Amino acid sequence: MNEHKPFVHIVKRTDIKWWKAWIIRLVSVIAALIVCAAIIYAIVKLNPLKVYASMWSGAFGTKRRSWVTVRDTMMLLCIGVGLAPAFKMRFWNIGAEGQILIGGVATAACMIFLGNLMPTWLLLIVMLASSIIAGAVWGIIPALFKARWNTNETLFTLMMNYVAIQLTSFFVSLWEHPAGSNSVGIINQSGKEGWFPALLGNQYTLNVVIVGILTLGMFVYLRYSKHGYEIAIVGESERTARYAGINVKRVILRTMCLSGAICGVSGFIAVAGSSHTISTATAGGRGFTAIIVAWLAKFNTFVMILISLLLVFLEAGAGQIASDYNLNEYAGKIIIGIILFFILGSEFFINYRLVFRRKESAR
């Protein structure tokens, strides 16, 4: 009796060339655009090409829009860079939102209380140091519990987000201006103490410089340093790491301290280099979006640049579609969801291949 074989089965790829992987991703994006075009025409009877042109206009239609896109890309990229070492270690840091908020609160406190006491260049250094320390502390707390009692880091870091939100709400009510507004307002609006200075004629140039340094530094750190090697080994197997003489607890603490610190810097950039205020909306959900950035890039910080830009472009384009064609925000989000679904789905075909059953020749 012949054994029944399935028509198709899934086989894990042992290796795939980088250019083949990028071809699969490109094909997935093209397929997503085709599906989106069909849905757009079927639902609202609009020319898909005009809709895509509207998306481009929303992100790059004017010089100001282009720089806002760059600003938001740098913010998302910075958070992704912060998550990269933790995720490579298989420490699921879902607490970036809280680390951003705590870094932002520390930055805002320096702007409010030290704005008139020191020159802007020194104030910026103090603000940066404060955000790093605040974010590192917020990151190391769940790491301590993980290293000592093996707690679930996913739940722990997620709960830390809610604590950070409540702390931010407390400080917003404490610093509210004007009284009764339930908001801090624009901090130091008249003198701009603690604001990023304009470089090369643009107010967001320093955002690019800071995040660019972090992106390059993290790439070198993970790829070529001893610490990066230890992170990779711990991520593969803690038992193997211990056998190799690596102090796993120390690696967990050090890596989460670094991850939290960089997410804290994101809060510094958000407050001092963008909104110039602090609120519970400062993180804006980007701590969760950055998880997609880090994971799709496989912790390669240079690849994160492209993915961050794509996600910000889609978000800006969705808003422009709603504005140009008098649609609600969900129409644009449908397009974003479809494109992300295809991009995430492409990772399956990069890591696995489908093998179909062949007809046996007659004997």
Q: How confident is the model at residue 359 (pLDDT cuts 50, 70, 90)?
A: low
**Which pTM value belongs to this model?**
0.92
Q: Does pLDDT of 16 surpass 90? A: no
Question: With the C-alpha atoms ordered 147, 152, 154, 157, is the resulting torsion angle positive or negative?
Answer: negative
Amino acid found at 88: K
pLDDT higher for 216 or 349?
Answer: 216
Token code pair at residue 19: 């250019």
Task: Say how far residue 30 (Cα) sits from the centre of its chain.
Answer: 24
Q: How confident is the model at residue 4 (pLDDT cuts 50, 70, 90)?
A: low
Q: Which residues contact 151 (CB under 8 A, 6 or more apart)?
A: 142, 145
Q: What percent of the chain has a predicted confidence (pLDDT) above 70? A: 98
**Alpha-carbon distance 290 to 98, whole Å?**
13
C-beta separation of 86 from 356 below 8 A: no
Q: Which residues contact 161 (CB under 8 A, 6 or more apart)?
A: 94, 95, 97, 98, 101, 287
**Alpha-carbon distance 96 to 81, whole Å?**
11
Q: Does pLDDT of 363 surpass 50? A: no
Q: What per-residue confidence (pLDDT) applies to 362?
A: 44
Q: Which of 16-25, 100-109, 124-133, 354-363 has the lowest mean pLDDT?
A: 354-363
**Alpha-carbon distance 308 to 313, whole Å?**
8
**Alpha-carbon distance 261 to 148, whole Å?**
21
Helix, strand, coil shares of the chain, percent, nearest 5, are 70, 5, 25
Whole-angstrom distance between the N-terminal and C-terminal Cα of the chain?
15
Average pLDDT along the chain: 92
Q: Is the peptide bond before 142 cis (omega within 30 degrees of 0)?
A: no
**Alpha-carbon distance 156 to 99, whole Å?**
13
Q: What per-residue confidence (pLDDT) applies to 1?
A: 46
Q: What per-residue confidence (pLDDT) applies to 3?
A: 59
Measure the CA dihedral 301/303/306/307, to 10°.
-80
